[in-house]
Structure formats: C-alpha cells, structure tokens
Amino acid sequence: MLPSRITVLAGGVGGARFLSAVRAWARIHSPSTRITAIVNTGDDMWHVGLRITPDLDSIMYALAGVNDTERGWGRVGESERVSAELREWGAGWPWFTLGDLDLGAHIARSAWLREGVPLSSIVPRLTARWDLGVELLPATDDEVATWVRIDDPEASAAGEPVERTVHFQEWWTRYRAKVVTHGFERRGLAGSSPAAGVLDAIENADVVLLAPSNPVVSIGTILDIPGIHAALQATPAPVVGVSPIIGGAVVRGMADACLEVIGVPTSAAAVARLLGARGGAVDAVAGTAHPAREAGAQGVLDAWLVDEVDADAVAGLEAEGIRSAAVPLWLRDEPTGVQLVSDALALATS
Amino acid sequence: MLPSRITVLAGGVGGARFLSAVRAWARIHSPSTRITAIVNTGDDMWHVGLRITPDLDSIMYALAGVNDTERGWGRVGESERVSAELREWGAGWPWFTLGDLDLGAHIARSAWLREGVPLSSIVPRLTARWDLGVELLPATDDEVATWVRIDDPEASAAGEPVERTVHFQEWWTRYRAKVVTHGFERRGLAGSSPAAGVLDAIENADVVLLAPSNPVVSIGTILDIPGIHAALQATPAPVVGVSPIIGGAVVRGMADACLEVIGVPTSAAAVARLLGARGGAVDAVAGTAHPAREAGAQGVLDAWLVDEVDADAVAGLEAEGIRSAAVPLWLRDEPTGVQLVSDALALATS
C-alpha cells in the first residue's frame, strides 16, 4: 500500500535534493501523499542582526525551483550589492556573503521573529509564495546552534595552539573545516523542544525517511532535540535511512569532516551504527554532546540503504538488526531519484 | 574675521544642499573652518526590524557625492531587488522602498544599535568611508519620532471620519500629506537629550546657521530636544536662519504642508516669527507639542535671510528684533550656494 504520509528528516542541500526526489516520486506514483520535512536548524544564526536559516532556505529555494544549481547554493540570478556595502563598513563577516534576494527572506524572517512569531509560523509565510509540494517544519522554534572547538589558525600560527570556539558557519564557510578541530558543542539543545507539528509528523507518518544529510550536524541535531529521538523510537512507522556516504566518501557537503571530528569512520556502515538499530544500542561516541548517541542509548533505524559499491556492508548491518539493501544512491536526475525513493519505500515495507 | 567653526542645524535633502554650499564656501574662503551639522532624527523609524535615518542618510550621501540627484533622494545607481522580495512576502510597507545600497547602511546601523552602540558613534563609522568635509551629529541618540493625527482616508471614506495616528513617513510618503490632518505628536521628545557633541557644537561655534529645512518637523524637532533651544539662546555665536519659504511657497519638501497643520502661514516672515527673535517672544502655536514654541517661550534667531522676492518682509522683522536681509536664496549651483553662505555670514557679523 502506498504511504499516505511520508515524513523526512533533512539537512540543507543534500536534504533538498532528496526531498525533490520524494516529491517527484509522489507526483508519479501517489499524488495524494502528504510529504513533511523536519529540517535542521542547528546551522541557524544571527548575523548582522538578521536570522539566517541555511537549511530551511536551501530546501525552500530548491523545491521552489529558484535555487542556483550551478553554484550549488542560494538563489538563481543572485546579486550581492548589499553585501558589498556591508563590507565597506566592516559590518558582518567578510567571508560570509548575503545575497540580495536572500536578504529579502532574512529581513522578513528577522522582523517577524522580533514581533514574536515563532519560526514554525514564519516558514509557511515564506513558502506560501511557491507551490513546494512539501510541508517544511523547522525541527525546533528554539535557538539551537552548533559550535566548534578549534585551534585558531591565525593565533596558533605564532606558537602554542590557541583554542577558540566558533559557530559552525565559521568553521565550515571560513575555514572549510581545515583546522585542528576538537569537537562540537550544541548550544541551546537541552532546553529546546520540537516545533509544532514535528512530533505529530513522526508519530502519524506511514514511513519516516532520513535524507542522506550530514549525520552529525544535520540529522544528528534533529535527533538530539529532546523528544524527537524518543518519537522516532516510538512511532509505528518504519524508519529508513539513506547513507550520505558512498564508497567511503561523502556524496556532498561535509559529513566526512564532521564524522572525523567525532571519531567515526567515513563509511555507510559506520553511519548506520551511529544512528543505531531501533531497539538496539548505538555505537557510543564520546564527547559529542549528542545525548541520543551516548553509551546506553538506543537507535532509531529500521532500515538503511547503502550504495551498490557498499554492498558488502549489508550482511553485517542485517545481523545487527538493521534491514539493509544496496541500491544506486547517486541522485543524478529525476528518474534515479524516483527509483531511490521507491527502493527506500520497498525496504520500509519488506 | 572668518569663523573657525560653523554649526548648522539641518534636515534632510534641503539640509544636504545647504551643507554642500557651506562646505564649498569653506573650501574657497576658509579651508580650516570646521563645519558641524546637527541633524534631525525625528523622521527616523524602525521598519522591518531596521533603523531608518532618512535625514542623516540624505546628508551623508549628498556630501559623499553618491546621492541620486535626478530622483532627488537615495543613492545613485540604486536598485530595489531586496524590496521586491519583501513585497512578495508582504513584509514592510508596499509604498516604502528600501534601496539595496541603502539597505547596507540600514543593516549595519541596526546591528550596531542592537549591540548598544549609540547613533552618534554609528554615524562616524558610516561616514568614515568618505571625506565629507562636514561632521554629522544626530540631534539626539534617543528615539524621537514625529507622528501625525489624520483622518484615515480609507476608513473615513465610508462615513464618519476615523482618526488614526501614523508615523511621519506614512503621512508624507504614503499620503503625500494630502489627508485631513489634525496635528503632530512628538513621541520620546520629553525624555530625550542632545547627543554627544551637540551642545558643544552650539556653545563653541563662531556662528550657528539654520538650514532652509522644514521649520516644523526638522528644525522644529531639533529645537525641541530638551537643552538645544536653551543652548541656542545662550550661545555667544550669532544664530542666522535661512528661510525655507520663497515668495509664499516652499523651496523643496513639505514645509508648507507642515506649516498649514500648525496654522502658520507659508511665508518667510511667519517662519521667522515661529522661530522667534533671541530675547523676544515667539509666536505661540497651539497644539503643536513644540515646547520651545509655546506661549511665553523666547526665540533663537539673531538674523534671518529671506529671498529678494520677500524683501518687503525685512523691515517688519527688523522692527521685531530679527536682523534681516533679502538675498537670492535659490541654490542653483555652487556659486549661488557659496554666495548665499557669504551673505549669511555677513549678516551674522553685521
């Protein structure tokens, strides 16, 4: 039976591509299927007085068809006239560009937040302009942020390493993760709660899919918002993940760099073990401040899709209680995307 | 003797033109003369989470030579890509456009204000990029705003007049002052104080000039900030005003509409009497919430320049204790501007 509701946990650009595939699958096979995305907000930040929500925006723009597919991020036809002015005044980070079209969303969002409107009510205001075919929910309305403990490269160049804690955006966009990195901190996590609709979307889904997004800072942050991990363990829906790692390398983004920081191998099987089998223990990861993945915690996965090149991981994962299959994971175009979603749904119900 | 320090009270576009003339005069006649502008902030407002300072920006852009002289406001080469996005989302006023280049200043200013930096410290950060030749001081760091009591044209169209109080920007930009208007309110005025440097600029000037700016909402607001009116009365420097009215019509802007609201005739002489002779009583204006121009208040003017077409006003004003002269007031180009400033300085010391 075709699912009437699919809920997807997703990060930014990788999540956007996967959600486009889910939407394409639904348009072909099951137009009435409701698709809900629970989107990572752990990369969000205030910057020059504006609230930036990179993953929500990446998904919104991609589903709206206004994303820049060539550059890989932001709006198509973007310009940077405002950012050039800000740079003249030394306002903001010189290595962090706010596109002009993008700033429209940032300014509107920030103004509404300051009026007291929660992010989960702002997202539908922003998306209403387009027919996305996917309902976007921020994982939380609370401000949760990933910070990274690094050796400051400039300060450390002179002699003894100087530790500094930077926002995830600085680690990734400024340093490209190419600095000595000691670990992640998740600020605001303990006091956060799922946004309106999030738990319902998990509890009342027919299937929950984990997009091939960063398992540490995207999927990981969503899981660690108090209540979400437990909801995934409790939902009657099967939970199926898609590996973000193919043949020991990341498909896109920064999963490899993040896995390295927490000491997890860059492999499809290791990521599955990090998420853990539902009812089974997860691989403990020391010092990650990931409450859902501390020693003794239980996993969330019923099933896991790896790429064909990782077929030899299937037997081991199955033995550990994670139903697995090796299928083509590369999202080359719409047909490969639709096929991947069909494969994920088949594994969910097998 | 040439003045070593000239202080100018100024509103927006008219103030900018006059300040350009003062700067041109100094470059020709007295390059070491220090020019300080005390700029109206009563039109400032928060809009979609951004602090807008129209008069400060108009003056900054004009003195920097980056203003749009054709359109008469804003930056030259301006675009409105961000505003178009905001409109799609229904954020902000559809009749109020924020230019992209302009937004750079708004975003930087707002971020710094939220960090606790006072406006008077932000202005030099913004102006440092250019060699303005004029030091700009906001009249106050406090939030003072002019509001206008009107009959709402849409709500009143159906029957009984419906009164509404709107920000000055809405009255002027949206309604072009063409609505039934009952009066002005000055919010935040009583608790405000002059920004750092303002009183010093008045007390230690060799001459104080009042630009031909709006006498009600620009010069008027500056005067009514507690302490400024008294400083003008106490300063040893002569205080010389330039009429914003020529031949019964406003030179530029909205002085006529504002004078009408407070029941003052649109004439060069009436504006002089509104400002009042130093040591003499001002014409009382009922219901304006202008503490400096209530019955019994004293004026600030030593001298007043009117245009040649208003020469017949000179004798009457002189009889009332305001030294006056009729000279060409139209700022057509740099020579006419330099001549006007020479005339003002001559009248100051005559």
A88 and B129: CB-CB below 8 Å?
yes
DSSP H helical segments within chain B, as ranges?
13-29, 54-64, 81-88, 100-114, 119-127, 153-157, 168-169, 198-203, 219-224, 228-234, 255-261, 268-275, 314-319, 334-349
| Cβ neighbours of A104 in B, within 8 Å | 81-86, 88-89, 91
Which residues in A lie closer than 8 A to residue B79 (C-beta atoms)?
A: 79, 81, 100
Which residues of chain A lie closer than 8 angstroms to B82, CB-CB? 82, 100-101, 103-104, 107
pLDDT recorded at residue B280? 78
What distance in Å separates the CA atoms of residue A243 and residue A272, rounded to the nearest whole number? Answer: 8
Q: Write down all domains in chain A, each with its CATH number in brackets.
A: 5-41+196-349 (3.40.50.10680), 45-138 (1.10.8.240), 145-187 (no CATH)
Mutation site for A-interface testing, chosen from B83, B89, B112, B123 by largest number of A Cβ within 10 Å: B89
CB contacts < 8 A (A, B)? 97
d(CA A34, CA A21): 14
Interface contact A103-B82, CB threshold 8 A: yes
For residue B43, pLDDT over 70 is answered with yes
Other CB atoms within 10 Å distance of the CB of residue A332: 8
Tens digits of residue pLDDT in A89-123: 999 998 888 999 999 999 999 999 999 999 999 99
pLDDT of residue B159: 82
Q: pLDDT: is A295 or A168 the higher one?
A: A168
Residue B102 — very low, low, confident or very high, per pLDDT cuts 50/70/90? very high
* Contact (Cβ atoms closer than 8 angstroms) between residue B311 and residue B246: no
pLDDT digit string, tens, across residues A169-222: 999 999 999 999 999 999 999 999 999 999 999 999 999 999 999 999 999 999
Cβ of A267: how many Cβ atoms within 10 Å? 19
Structure tokens at B207: 């001459």
Of A49, A84, A108, nearest to B86 by CB-CB distance is: A108
**DSSP structural state of residue B301:** B
Cα dist from A326 to A101, A239, A247, A274, A333, whole Å? 40, 17, 12, 19, 19
Rounded CA-CA distance B40/B19 in Å is 14
Give the percent of chain B with pLDDT over 90.
84
Task: For B53, list phi and psi in degrees, rounded to 5.
Answer: -125, 80
Residue ranges of A 39-58 with Cβ closer than 8 A to chain B: 48-50
Asked if A168 and A116 touch (Cβ cutoff 8 Å), the reply is no
Residue B131 reports pLDDT greater than 80: yes
Q: What is the pLDDT of residues B221-277, one digit of tens each?
A: 999 999 999 999 999 999 999 999 999 998 878 889 999 999 999 999 999 999 999
Report the alpha-carbon distance of residue A185 to residue A146 in Å, rounded. 6
Which of A89, A97, A115 is the best substitution to test chain B (most B C-beta atoms within 10 A)? A89
- Contacts B125 to A, Cβ<8 Å: 89-90
The 3 state secondary structure assigned to chain A is: CCCCEEEEEECCHHHHHHHHHHHHHHHHHCCCCEEEEEECCCCCEEECCEEECHHHHHHHHHHHCCECCCCCCCECCCCCHHHHHHHHCCCCCCCCCCCHHHHHHHHHHHHHHHCCCCHHHHHHHHHCCCCCCCEEEECECCCCEEEEEEECHHHHHCCCCCEEEEEHHHHHHHCCCCCCEEEEEEECCCCCCECCCHHHHHHCCCEEEECCCCCCCCHHHHHHCCCHHHHHHHCCCCEEEECCEECCEECCCCHHHHHHHCCCCCCHHHHHHHHCEECCECCCCCCCCCHHHCCCCEECECEEEEEHHHHHHHHHHHHCCCEEEEECCCCCCHHHHHHHHHHHHHHHHC
Q: For residue B41, give every residue at least 6 positions away whose Cβ sits within 8 Å of its Cβ, in sequence order, or none.
A: B53, B55, B56, B119, B138, B139, B140, B144, B221
Nearest to B123 by CA among B53, B225, B226, B213: B53
- Out of A84, A86, A111, whose CB is closest to B91? A111
Judge whether A84 is closer than 8 Å to chain B, CB to CB.
yes
A129 in contact with B, Cβ within 8 Å: yes
Question: What is the pLDDT at residue B295?
Answer: 61
> B335-347, pLDDT tens digit by residue?
999 999 999 999 9
Residue A23 CA, chain-centre distance (Å), reads 17
Of B48, B101, B108, the CB nearest to A108: B48
Structure tokens at A177: 């993760």
Residues A16-74: tens digit of each pLDDT: 999 999 999 999 999 999 999 999 999 999 999 999 999 999 999 999 999 998 888 88
Q: Looking at the complex, does the CB of residue B114 fall below 8 Å from at least one CB of chain A?
A: yes
Q: In angstroms, what separates the C-alpha of B16 from chain A's closest C-alpha?
A: 22
Give residues with Cβ within 8 angstroms of B158, minimum separation 6: none
Residue A82 and residue B88: Cβ atoms within 8 Å?
A: no
At A266, list the tokens: 């860059």
Structure tokens at B143: 């939030």
Q: Is the CB of residue A17 less than 8 Å from the CB of residue A331?
A: yes
pLDDT of B326 reads 98
Rounded to 5 degrees, φ, ψ at B191 are -90, 5
Query: What length does chain A have?
Result: 350
B142 CB neighbour count, 10 Å cutoff: 17
How does pLDDT run across B276-334, given as a tens digit for each residue? 999 877 765 654 556 666 666 789 999 999 999 999 999 999 999 999 999 999 999 99
Please, are residues A305 and A242 in contact by the beta-carbon 8 Å criterion?
yes
Contact A85 B91 (CB under 8 A): no
User: Mean of the pLDDT values across residues A313-341?
Assistant: 96
The mean pLDDT value for B138-164 works out to: 91
Residue of B85, B89, B105 lying closest to A125 (CB–CB)? B89
Residue B12 in contact with residue B213, Cβ under 8 Å?
yes
Are A344 and A304 within 8 A, CB to CB?
A: no
Rounded to an integer, what distance in angstroms lies between the CA atom of residue A346 and that of residue B166? 61
A76 part of contact set with chain B, CB < 8 Å: no
Q: Looking at chain B, which residue has its C-alpha nearest residue A85?
A: B104
Which residues, numbered 225 to 254 in chain A, qualify as contacts with chain B under a Cβ-Cβ cut-off of 8 Å? none
Rounded-to-integer distance, Cα A12 and Cα B165, Å: 44
Q: What average pLDDT does the structure give for chain B? A: 93
Residue A159 backbone phi and psi in degrees, to 5: 180, -115
Closest chain B C-alpha to A107 CA, distance in angstroms = 7
Helix pair A100-114, A54-64: axis angle to 10 deg: 120
> A88, B104: Cβ pair inside 8 Å?
yes
List, for residues A240-292, the tens digit of each pLDDT value.
Answer: 999 999 999 988 788 899 999 999 999 999 999 999 999 877 665 654 556 66
Structure tokens given for B292? 């400096």
Minimal-distance CA residue of chain A relative to B125: A89
